[in-house]
Amino acid sequence: MRSFVAISLRPNDILESAIHQVGQSGKSVEGRNLHITLKFLGEVKEIEEIRKNLGNIRFGKFTVTLKGMGAFPTVQNGRVLFVKAIPEDVLKSLAREVDSMTEDIPLDHPFTPHITLLRARYRRNFSDIVSRYENTKFLEQDVTSFALFESILKPTGPIYNVIEEYQLM
């Protein structure tokens, strides 16, 4: 089962508008699929131990803000356009907790707090888009839980199903 651990987000008009405006630059993410990935687990054979281990995380509720944009690997030579998520230190701390509870699965890349807006087929310069949205606050949301998701890849786009949700304290 292809899976990941993430914080679900509720899209709003500002975020939906930005997704629509940048969508011509690549394959945009559907609003219902917006999330902050805490750890991508990949193909997992035994999900029960992961479910149990994630239930041991004790972490406080917090508020996340989505503000500004960036691109991977770089703004000038990017394939992925994203919105930055803050507070970085809190999100990194929660991601470390998730990683420690799933330590048998190596990280595929260092954690960067963000939500993906679109994936471009070819590398491109996203400088104009990133500078246009530099000071835009897209969303502020209370984070009261995170979840273990199953990811089913389809030609029309991924389908994410919640396997288990974990409440924050």
Known catalytic residues are 35, 114
Q: Please state, in angstroms and rounded to a whole number, the distance separating the CA atoms of residues 7 and 111.
A: 14
Of 85, 163, 73, nearest to 120 (Cα)?
73
**Which string of b and e fits 8-33 if b means at least 16 CB within 10 Å?**
bbebeeebeebbeebeebbebbeeeb
